[in-house]
Structure 1
Amino acid sequence: MDVSSIEGSRAGSTGSTAGSRAGGATDATDVVEAALAGAAPRPGRAALLRERWFACSSALGWAAAAEWPDPAVEAVCAVVTARHEGRDARDRAVERVLAHWAGARAGAGIGLAETLTDLAALSTAVSGAGAEEPDDGAGAVVPGHHAPVRGPDGVHLLRAVSIAWTDVACGDIAETAAVDPLSGLASVRYLRTRLAEVYRAARAHGRAAGDEHALVVLTLDVRDWRRVAPLSIAGEAAGVVFDAGESIAVVGRGTVVVLAPREGLAERTAVLRRLLTRRLAAAEGLVGSPTARIVRLPATHDGACALLARLRDAEPEPQHEPEPHHEPEPDHT
């Protein structure tokens, strides 16, 4: 896709957002601000790209015109048409904003095939606009000259968009299913149900849920489509160590959570850590070393659900609880 033959940026208005999800405008604004750091916005060119994109998408068969506008569309037009500080910065920004856009399409109930067709329409729109008014290299538009085709590799972008769409679509499925559709492990919904049972039992006996249970959080830095294999391997390793009825669930892109009794938990976690290191040594898609840490249960079930949401959304990690000094291999953040 030619992402640099048009110079431009954020459209002057994002009012045309029919069919967008609630809160989408704020999310898109955050993405644009991050992606445009150090870039020069040019609203006029972004507005022109948006018009061309919609026309191309309609020509390729977009069914419902009212569902096409979205804050994520505005974000794509802003980032694609901006002048960035170098090719690498531009390519990273374009990939990030397209991933956000694909997730917004999935969240709005738009299928993957239609999303990829819309991506093709964007490529056509960018190429067509660039052929008319390319940049002269200093920020000015020079009519009548054709700009070279530049930008992230098309296959790479297809994969990034497909992964982002699948993350949201499968995340929605996992919210209503007992089993995660990608890894085969229990889903976050199932784990929330098990936690509710643990909290009810603790309350009935006049104890805190964290007195007898804790969470073991396995974190994997997994990238791209190859992340499914490391998650499955991590889940199997957890099942070897925690084989007495503990609940093992996948939470987010690269996190596996075990709900387990506290007795002997530090020793079992240390064993799991070593097992993970061995089994994941040659796993593709894994960056760095996996971590396993013990996290104390919050005081309430609502607090536990909020903790799972933070893990799922890759927000700042919770503080692990200190382990007794006499126990081997204490956990570290």
Structure 2
Amino acid sequence: MDARTNTGGPAGSGPGRGAVDGAAPRPGRAAALRERWFACSCALGWGAAAEWPDPAVDAVCAVVTARHPGGTAARDRAVERALARWAGARAGAGVGLAETLTDLAALNTAVSGGGSDTPGRDDPTASALDVAPPGRGPDGVRLLRAVSVAWTDVACGDLAETAAVDPLSGLASVRYLRTRLAEIYRAARAHGHAAGEEHALVVLALDVRDWRRVAPLTIAGEAAGVVFDAGESIAVVGRGTVVVLAPRGGLAERAAVLRRLLGRRLAAAEGMVGTPSVRIARLPATHDGACALLERLRDEGPDEPGPDEPGPAEV
């Protein structure tokens, strides 16, 4: 079986089709690289040939073989993004990290090994992989790190959905926070009032980068625990968001204290970009609405505010 069968994508979505991050795709080279990558993966021990093809594979091949008008830096960023998406797809499909990294090594062999007709060989626009194979030199380490982090994001995200504690930060998980919210809504209903009358969410949004985000998240969780130390629930939601479920009494003042404390503690933290934001988000009318809010908070970036309290959201 060759790598062109069972792509797992829609018809016409093969390698090299369409624009690639503003670059000029070269479908012939992408298809050739895909075939060589598949052969190298099989040679390195890929177990189930039918499970190797994936649309993310096509995307990597397209980016690696495209002409990037933005130069080396733009090319390297595009390759890193494509490999991160590919690693996430592998994790989502149940492929282990060791097998994913072996497949990455196969891609390196496909790009940099072989004769002059090898896709990317003697082509300065082909890929960062041809210059710095994964595992060698700073660029190789960077790509290995990006792949490992992307794989872990998906794998540990799935784990966090079934655990009470987030495996990376040590804070409470989204699942635990959903459970606590269900209790809050049940208690509010039993007493004849809305959950949002007595509780709200304090949202700490951190602009963090790659593997170094664990330290800022942990610091943020510890700072939140200093300010909210009376049994409030503190949970991590997404890559860079910490949420506190707290009583409304004096909440604006406590949120202001937390923001100042975070500014001091995160000033020298690796992985931080910009300053953290702290805002208060109202609880929706229903528990289902609260769970949907958590999903939005998980997906939003630091500059994409969610549904805040009336008046100034930043405190």
Fold similarity call, TM over 0.5: yes
Q: Using the alignment, how far apart are the partners of 1:136 and 1:122 within structure 2?
A: 16
2:6 paired residue number: 16
Q: Verify the 8 A CA contact 2:199 2:247 in the aligned structure 1.
A: yes
The Cα shift of 1:136 comes to 8.0
Q: 1:38 aligns with which of 8, 15, 22?
A: 22
- CA distance 1:109–1:135, shift in 2 (3 Å): closer
Aligned-pair identity (%): 78
Are 2:91 and 1:101 aligned?
no
Q: CA RMSD in A?
A: 2.7
Are 2:62 and 1:78 aligned?
yes
The one-letter code of the counterpart of 2:55 is P
2:308 paired residue number: 320
Are 2:155 and 1:169 aligned?
yes
Q: Using the alignment, how far apart are the partners of 2:84 and 2:132 within structure 1?
A: 15
2:169 paired residue number: 183
Deviations 1:222-263 (A, max 9, x none): 112111111111101101111111100001111100000111
Query: Structure 2 unaligned runs (5+)?
Result: 134-138
Q: Using the alignment, how far apart are the partners of 1:127 and 1:138 within structure 2?
A: 12
- CA distance 1:114–1:260, shift in 2 (3 Å): same
Deviations 1:251-292 (A, max 9, x none): 111110000011100000001011111111111111111111
Q: 1:301 aligns with which of 287, 290, 294?
A: 287
Q: Using the alignment, how far apart are the partners of 1:174 and 1:136 within structure 2?
A: 44
Q: Verify the 8 A CA contact 2:198 2:248 in the aligned structure 1.
A: yes
Q: Verify the 8 A CA contact 2:4 2:53 in the aligned structure 1.
A: no
2:76 paired residue number: 91
SS in 1 for 2:161: helix
- CA distance 1:137–1:158, shift in 2 (3 Å): closer
The one-letter code of the counterpart of 1:121 is A
SS in 1 for 2:207: coil
The one-letter code of the counterpart of 1:127 is S
SS in 2 for 1:98: helix
The one-letter code of the counterpart of 1:210 is G
Q: 1:150 aligns with which of 110, 131, 149?
A: 131
Q: Verify the 8 A CA contact 1:214 1:259 in the aligned structure 2.
A: yes
The Cα shift of 1:320 comes to 1.5
Q: 2:251 aligns with which of 265, 268, 271?
A: 265
Are 2:213 and 1:231 aligned?
no
- CA distance 1:120–1:242, shift in 2 (3 Å): same
Q: Using the alignment, how far apart are the partners of 1:212 and 1:89 within structure 2?
A: 50
SS in 1 for 2:32: helix
The Cα shift of 1:200 comes to 1.3
Q: Using the alignment, how far apart are the partners of 1:65 and 1:99 within structure 2?
A: 22
- CA distance 1:104–1:204, shift in 2 (3 Å): same
Q: Using the alignment, how far apart are the partners of 1:137 and 1:187 within structure 2?
A: 46
Are 2:314 and 1:332 aligned?
yes
Query: What TM-score does the superposition give when structure 2 sets the normalisation length?
Result: 0.88
SS in 1 for 2:200: strand
Q: Using the alignment, how far apart are the partners of 2:307 and 2:30 within structure 1?
A: 43
Q: Verify the 8 A CA contact 1:91 1:151 in the aligned structure 2.
A: no
The Cα shift of 1:14 comes to 8.1
- CA distance 1:128–1:136, shift in 2 (3 Å): closer
Q: Higher relative contact order by CA 8 Å / sep ≥ 6: 1 or 2?
A: 1
The one-letter code of the counterpart of 2:99 is E
SS in 1 for 2:208: coil
The one-letter code of the counterpart of 1:331 is A
Deviations 1:52-96 (A, max 9, x none): 000000000001111111111111111111111111111111000
Q: Using the alignment, how far apart are the partners of 2:214 and 2:123 within structure 1?
A: 42
Q: Using the alignment, how far apart are the partners of 1:160 and 1:250 within structure 2?
A: 21
Q: Verify the 8 A CA contact 2:111 2:121 in the aligned structure 1.
A: no
Q: Deviating runs (4+, > 6 A) in structure 1? A: 135-139
Query: Structure 1 unaligned runs (5+)?
Result: 1-12, 19-23, 142-147, 324-329
Q: 2:33 aligns with which of 45, 49, 67?
A: 49
- CA distance 1:272–1:14, shift in 2 (3 Å): farther
The Cα shift of 1:138 comes to 11
SS in 2 for 1:258: strand
2:98 paired residue number: 113
- CA distance 1:137–1:293, shift in 2 (3 Å): same
Query: What TM-score does the superposition give when structure 1 sets the normalisation length?
Result: 0.83
Q: Using the alignment, how far apart are the partners of 1:233 and 1:137 within structure 2?
A: 45
Q: Verify the 8 A CA contact 1:14 1:74 in the aligned structure 2.
A: no
Aligned residues, how many? Answer: 299
2:136 paired residue number: none
2:275 paired residue number: 289
SS in 2 for 1:259: strand
The one-letter code of the counterpart of 1:260 is A
1:69 paired residue number: 53
